[in-house]
Structure formats: C-alpha cells, structure tokens
Structure 1
Amino acid sequence: MRPKLPSDKGQDESDDGICKSMVEPQNYVCEEHTVTTGDGYILSLQRIPVGRSGGTSVDRPPVLLQHGLMMDGSTWMLLPPEKSLAFLLVDNGFDVWIANSRGTKYSRGHVSLSPDDAAFWDWSWDELASSDLPAAFGYVQDQTRQKLHYVGHSQGTLTALAAFLKEQLLSMLRSAALLSPIAYLGQMTSLLARNVAEGFIAETLYWLGLNEFNPTGDAVANMLKDICQKTGIDCSDLLTSFTGQNCCTNSSVVELLLDRKLQSSSMKNMVHLSQMVRDGTVSMYDYEDEAENIQQYGQPTPPSYNMTSIPNDIPLFLSYGGADALSDVDDVKLLLRSLRDHDGDKLVIQYLDNYAHADFVMADNAREIVYNPLIAFLQLQ
C-alpha cells in the first residue's frame, strides 16, 4: 500500500512547507525530513544545519525543538530572525531540528490511515511521549551521530518529562530546556480552559463521534461560544483567556500565529488533558471503564507517571512565569518538589514574574530574558 504522505490530506496544496515559508525567506539553509513512528505516523522534521554565514554542520551539537498544543514547528520562528529561538540557536553553533507532532498540518500522513479515519486520531499525549519523541530523537541521532539537546514548550515539556522516564530516550539525551513546563494541571487558573475541562465538553464532542479537535473548526467554535455565553468569560481575546495576560507579545506576532492557523490535536488528547485538570494527577489516559483499563494496562486504573523517577543527573533548564494561566505557578512547584533531589549543578530554574504562557515563544524580549540564558546553559553541557 502506498504511504499517505503529509501532502495527501489536510494540507493546502499551495503551502510549500515550513522551510520554504518560514526559514528560507530569512536566508537560512533548510532541509525537509520525514520520520515514521512505530505506530505508522509520518512526521515532518525541519533541519537548519548552519547559520546565515554558512560553514559546515559537522560537529555542531544537535538540538530538537518541540512545540506545544495547537501549535506546530513554526512556533520557533514567529518572532523576527534576530529574536526567534530556532535562528538564534543555529547562529550560536547548533544544528537545529524542528519537530511537528502527529495531526498537525505537516504531520498528517500515515502508512495506512487517512485523517478521515477515526483510527487516525486514536491517541493522546501518551503516544506523543512513547512514539513521536523517540522516533524524532532516533532519527536526529542517526543523522548526526550525536546525542541531542532538547527544548520543549507547554505540551512539549509534558511529553518530554514522560519520555524521560524511558531509558531508550535518555541514552540519546544531552540536556533539556523546558519552557512553561507542564506536568500537573490541577491548579490551572485559565477560566476558559478549566471550563472546557470541567464541563466535560471534550468528552461530549468525543462521544458525538468527533475524533479530530480542530481549533478553527465549527464544532470547537460553537463550543467556545457556548462557554463564553454561559460563564460570562470575556472571550474577546481568546489568546489571553487561555494563556493568561502575556506581558510582552506584540500584535504583529499574534497575527502571524493566527495567519499560520492553530493546529489540530485529537479529541482523545483533549479528554486526557481534561482528566489531568479535574484529577490533578499525571497518569496515562483513563478509559473510565475498569474492564477497558485492565485490557489496556493490566490494572483497573491507568498507571501514573512518577515524576520523582526522572534521573537526577539530567541537565535541566526550567523557565516558568508568574502570569501563566495554563502552567500555573503552584502546579510548577509540584513538579519542582518532584525534582527536589535533582543534582544541584544539573538544574537551572528561572522564574519570570510577568511572563504568561505565550510569552515564552512570542515575547518581544524573550531573547534577552529567556533565550540567551537558555543558550548559555546548552553550551555548558
């Protein structure tokens, strides 16, 4: 059977991809790659091997950038090139690789399934951690013959933390930087996101047979409209309603984000995240049926991800914000408590009082505030 490549479905045929639309116009070399996961998803990866001044990619340490929920790899290039993390990293001597999670615009291929098939969307962030990240790590290591640095934002930190519990990934890891880290979600202060989670909205759509969570689709738009009308939440600025009051983003960057369009996830993933908000736990997906959980996991309740089991010698850089309504300060403190025995010289913690969730990838001053310290951290590892 011919594999369904990312251009087969769900992608605008006139869209040339991230390299041609986001990287090459800034005069950087860019390569498009694909990797197939163990469960058959065909993921796109972009590589920026050298800076504008050229040179060779030999011996440049590779760094993999992983976006968050409803985003794709363009996350790392929304800011002007002199301020965007992807370009700053390559100009500072790194071999930059950009991941795109399954279901997003450039990763909608599968060896046998179409995005029109319900089975294509039968996954949550469990599979992003157990399949997508190992596939990307393995591919980059095979291409570069080096261990990787990793930078994740939002959901990209949750999947990394879960994956770090698997030794196969640790053997390929050099260090990790986690921006707006998410492990626990029980104290999330975003009223809009909490209403989505606690109102069982995601489950309702799932039960109605909607398998793809398309944030720009009619079903999600109607859901948000209903929540805003019933709860009195000010939804005139949806980005702020979800993320918190971002201190340092400007309108042109937000417009670029919206022009690129928010990306799809699976409805099952949204249900999984909702379970975390309601239960305050970090566990695998709960089928909410003992027999089904036993069939999937061999026990009546889903296994927990034990964050205290993350090895103490992984070099970690964590940056979180006081105004973040998704990665709440108290939830981050729970994560930090799990890391309290981490080797002191392997853990850097940065707290930014006025930063909210989107500031970490869209703030005008992110280079000075976050990226310069992050790059200095990576260069020491």
Structure 2
Amino acid sequence: MQIVWQCLCLVVVWILRLSGFVSEAAIPHRYLNTHQLIVKYGYPAETHTVTTEDGYILTMHRIPYSPKSNSTDTKRPVVFLQHGLTGSSADWVILGPNKSVCYMLADKGYDIWLGNSRGNKYSKKHTTLSTKSSKFWDFSWHEMGIYDLPSMIDYVLNRTSHHNLHYIGISMGTTMFFVCTSMKPEYNRKIHLMIALAPTAFMANSKTPLHKLNLMNKTTLRFLSSLKINAVRRSKFMDFIAEKVCTDEKARIICSYIIFELFGYDYKQLNESLLPVMFSLIPAGASWKSFVHYFQEMITDSGKFLQYDYENLNMAKYRQPTPPEYNLQAVTAPVALFYGSNDPFADPTDVLKLNNTLPNVVELYRVPWDQFNHIDFIVANDVNPLINDHIIYLMKRFKTLT
C-alpha cells in the first residue's frame, strides 16, 4: 500500500510540473532522464537517434553549448563521451555543473555528445527485433565496438561538419573504443585525442567478488554462459534499494557496502547523499553476454585481449579453434590512459601492459589518490582536482602540440 501511495505522489508531482506549478529543478535527480537533468541546470539539450548497420536504434544526448561559454564560434570542437557497462549517458551529468566533466567542457567552449550503447534504457529499440527476443540481446561489447561507435561517431561528425573529435570513455567505453579502432583502423583518423578513464582491455589481474570467493574459473564461466539470461535489467528490488535503503541515513551504509565491494573501497571520495541517484540510474540495462565476455578476459590463459569465445563453435565463427586477438597495434589514435591504484577492474598491472602495447600513448596518468576506485572517475568528491582538471589541461595542451 505504501508503494502505491509513493507512486501516486510521484504522478501528482509530474502533473504539477507539466501544469507549471512545480519546476523541473525541484524534482529529485533520480526521477529525471538525461535530457531533463541537462535542462535542469540551465544548459541547452538535444536528443538524437542513429540506426546501426545491424538495426539497433541508439539515442545520443547533446549539450551544443554552454550559457557560460564566451565562445562565439558556432563550430565548436566536439567531445564524445561513452559510458561503461550497465551505465548510460546520465552517468556524465549527475554531479551537475562545476563537477560533471561534460558541463565543464561545455563551459570551455566544446560541443558535447553523450552516447548510449545498445541495450541500455535509451537504446532499446531495433528495426525488426523486440527486447523480448533473445536475438535482440545476442551481443557483447564487441558489437558495440564495431557497430555502435562507428554509427554514433559518423553521425556526430556529419552533423557538426567536423573531421575528427575528442573521445572520452570510461571502462566499457574504453573497451568499445579499442575494439572499434583495432577492427576498423580507418576510425583512428577521426579521433583527435582519446582519454581512457579506467581502461579495460587486458584484465588478467581484475578482482571481482567472484575472485574474492575463489569462484572465478572456467567451470564457473561455463555455468554463467549457460544461464538462460538475456539481459541485466532494473528490478523492483533495485528500485526499493534506491528509494528506501539509500535514502535512509542509517540504512545507506548497505548501499555504500555494495559500491565498495563492487568497485573498491574509498570512503573519502564517496558522497553518500548521491547514493539514491546512483542506485536509481544503475543498472540502466546491459546484455548478459557483455558480462560473460569480460569474465572470459579475466580468466584467459593467454592474457590477451580477445574476441568472444564460442568454444566449440569457434571454428564455425572464426575458422580457428580460439577467438582472434584484437590487434592493438592498429590503434594509432593518440590515447591518454587514466588509472586508479585501487581499481578492481582496471588493475594498474593490466593498464601498464596496455600502455606498453598501444603504439601512441600520449600520457599515462595515475590518479594521485591511493584509494581511487573504479567508480570514482565519475562521482568522486574530489573529481575536479583528481580527474577533471587534468582532462581539461591535457586537452588544452594536446591541442597546442598538434
């Protein structure tokens, strides 16, 4: 009954907003989509869609300029930002102006585009397939790299009449980039600078909760692959966590514990008041196959960055018994690697290996905070001095060097 009452209250609030009695700025973050979050802070927002070669319809959000920018140039340099696994474009805007890097870059005169990969809440349409079909969810970040990114990048460049753009990716957003530019090398020339936050390619040293339980092995992987799970979606349980647990000052320690177990412990950088927003936005939707592909990367004997392992079907798929390796030598675009010492997914050892493999790394930046974890790149209390200020500095410096 209480849940019904809360839903009725929310409906009333939305009716009042539409009637003009309640401003959008007064509505909590967790009830707003990306477009509304951008508008809430007085920035212009646009929503664009693009259809991939294999039929997925993707949504992109845009901040074409900032009301604070002194730039009068109508052809502003473009920055494209790509979220991580289970995330969405909203991840880049939840901290608001003065802390979210997309607003800060808009203030500096950049044209901001926020991508959404197939399967998340903003990209759940297809020209022929329904999300109820298992075929819709038959993809990993490999398909996102060879279909989603090229489609979005080409659309943005055509729309803005630019030849190249700046790319900022976090976690899976970096994986997608390395897949795209290794499988389709022609896209390297479309990238002015790529900034990789928590770069994930080599993952032999990753530490998931399954690792802590000593369960990350080939037997477990085969079991996880066999599960009749198509997607990771939001559930009523997650809504309950966001609405009840994370908003309660005494109970929110549970939400903190979940964050730390998944992404690494860092009490100082966690803003607990942001927990309800974080849990209301994540998961935004993802295919189960994307998780399995990452698990494969973590337990591969070769320690290589590989395409999806279909095991007995590899010969039919690849004409070889093992999945092909992504050729990172083909990634010639300039890349800056940002990593944290306490990141369980982008382990420093793996990042250093990536640094030694990529042919054009322009900077290897270790975040100067020992406890910096995987999610801190987006929501850390000190995200400006630790991350954003250096991104802006690097983009400005790199521009003068090219």
- Shorter-chain TM-score tier: 0.7 to 0.9
Q: Which residue in the other structure is 2:21 paired with? A: none
Change (3 A) 1:113 1:153: same
Gaps of 5+ in 2: 1-10, 15-30, 239-253
Gaps of 5+ in 1: 1-11, 220-233
Q: Taking CA–CA contacts closer than 8 Å with sequence separation of 6 or more, which of the two structures ends up with the larger relative contact order?
A: 1
Q: Which residue in the other structure is 2:99 paired with? A: 83
| SS of residue matched to 2:352 | helix
CA positional deviation for 1:17: 3.8
Q: Which residue in the other structure is 2:145 paired with? A: 129
Q: Deviations over 1:266-323 (max 9, x none)?
A: 111111111111113310001011xx21222222211101323422xx3222110011
Mapped pair 1:253 → 2:277: no
Rounded Cα–Cα distance in structure 2 between residues aligned with 1:57 and 1:272: 43
Change (3 A) 1:324 1:216: farther
Q: What stretches of structure 1 move > 6 A for 4+ residues in a row?
A: none
Task: Say which is worse superposed, 162-171 or 97-106, in terms of deviation.
Answer: 162-171
Change (3 A) 1:258 1:56: farther
Q: Which residue in the other structure is 2:122 paired with? A: 106
CA positional deviation for 1:184: 1.1
Q: Which residue in the other structure is 2:168 paired with? A: 151
Aligned AA for 1:117?
Answer: S
| SS of residue matched to 1:81 | coil
> Which residue of 34, 39, 52 corresponds with 1:24?
39
| SS of residue matched to 2:311 | coil
Contact 2:339 / 2:346 at 8 angstroms: preserved in 1?
Answer: yes
For normalisation by structure 2, the TM-score amounts to 0.80
Aligned AA for 1:38?
Answer: E
Rounded Cα–Cα distance in structure 2 between residues aligned with 1:104 and 1:57: 34
CA positional deviation for 1:173: 1.1
Contact 1:148 / 1:173 at 8 angstroms: preserved in 2?
Answer: yes
Change (3 A) 1:158 1:118: same
Contact 1:33 / 1:46 at 8 angstroms: preserved in 2?
Answer: yes
| SS of residue matched to 1:270 | helix
The root-mean-square deviation of aligned C-alpha atoms, in Å, is 2.6
Q: Which residue in the other structure is 1:7 paired with? A: none
Q: Which residue in the other structure is 2:245 paired with? A: none
Aligned AA for 1:179?
Answer: L
CA positional deviation for 1:255: 2.1
For normalisation by structure 1, the TM-score amounts to 0.84
> Which residue of 270, 293, 309 corresponds with 1:286?
309
Mapped pair 1:185 → 2:203: yes
Contact 1:198 / 1:274 at 8 angstroms: preserved in 2?
Answer: no
Q: Deviations over 1:87-144 (max 9, x none)?
A: 0110011000000111100100100111100000000111011011111100000001
Contact 1:149 / 1:175 at 8 angstroms: preserved in 2?
Answer: yes
Provide the aligned length of Structure 1 versus Structure 2. 348
Mapped pair 1:322 → 2:345: no
Q: Which residue in the other structure is 1:377 paired with? A: 394
| SS of residue matched to 1:171 | helix
Aligned AA for 2:274?
Answer: V
